[in-house]
Amino acid sequence: MIVDHIKHVFSGIKVIFFPELCVACGRKLVAGENMLCTACRVDMPLTGDHKGDNSHLRERFANHFDPVWAVSFFYYVHGSRHSRIILNIKFRGCASAAVGMGRLFGRYLAEECPQMCRADMLVPLPLSRERMMVRGFNQSELIARGMGGQMGLDVETRAVARVRYGNAQSRTRSRMERLCNVDRAFAVVRPELLKGRHIILVDDVVTTGSTLTSCAKAILEAVPDCRISIAALASTPKRGYRN
């Protein structure tokens, strides 16, 4: 009882001195809100990838491999309010937002696309050791950990490794250059963990899909009977999309 009271007082003090902010719009959160304010949660530009022919993302991989599922949670539109969720996770070191958004995404998939929960495991896209040293965490792994709890799936980080990094990808120009850049960037170090399994590759944001393609190709080369789905927190929309 006393412990609860002390906890309550301290959480009140924390709110006064360190108010939690919405990871999208930056406004102070009020009681009952968690990570996102009510307006940003209601306005989330959901992709609905799991509905219909599932083609919004699938076609980005079409020439390379055929994912069982290819889904993303919301649209990443450069400069939009919701794009800040990804920027906060990726460039401002907001690890708790990565886990929290993963939880939201996992809960959404468990409700909207429960078939995906029948996969065998979540495999986050690995980061190179150098990138890990700079960022301090692998955002895809934290997203996957948040998702795993909601979907009842384990997160497997031992199977695939990042073996080298090309030039900073944002500076490259064409899709072809990106494909070359990430080619041979991944290696399967524990193929036995993936043999005969259906895995969900987890990434933060999909643009051209070249990084996920490179990882999936490395996996299928080493473990041809592995089935692969894709789940990304966000994806860039097709041309002509209006929010």
> Could you say whether residue 160 binds Zn ion (CB under 5 A)?
no
Three-point CA angle 61, 24, 34, nearest 5°: 110
Question: Which stretch, 21-29, 112-120, 208-216, 233-241, contacts Zn ion (CB under 5 A)?
Answer: 21-29
Please pick, from the candidates 35, 40, 127, 212, the single residue that binds Zn ion as defined by CB under 5 A: 40
Comparing C-alpha atoms, which of 112, 190, 108 is closest to residue 146? 108
Judged by beta carbon, residue 24 or residue 232, the one nearer Zn ion is 24
Shortest distance (Å) from residue 139 CB to Zn ion: 20
Judged by beta carbon, residue 101 or residue 127, the one nearer Zn ion is 101
Residue for token pair 């076609």: 59
HEC string of 111-155 equals HHCHHHHHCCEEEECCCCHHHHHHHCCCHHHHHHHHHHHHHCCEE
Instruction: Find all residues with CB under 8 Å of 70, minimum gap 6, and list them.
Output: 49, 54, 56, 57, 58, 60, 61, 229, 230
> Could you say whether residue 85 binds Zn ion (CB under 5 A)?
no
> Could you say whether residue 98 binds Zn ion (CB under 5 A)?
no
> Could you say whether residue 22 binds Zn ion (CB under 5 A)?
yes
Measured N-to-C along each axis, helices 95-112 and 83-90 cross at an angle, to the nearest 10 degrees, of 130
Please pick, from the candidates 21, 25, 44, 68, the single residue that binds Zn ion as defined by CB under 5 A: 25
Question: Contacts with Zn ion: how many residues (CB under 5 A)?
Answer: 5
> Could you say whether residue 24 binds Zn ion (CB under 5 A)?
yes
Binding site for Zn ion (CB under 5 A): 22, 24-25, 37, 40
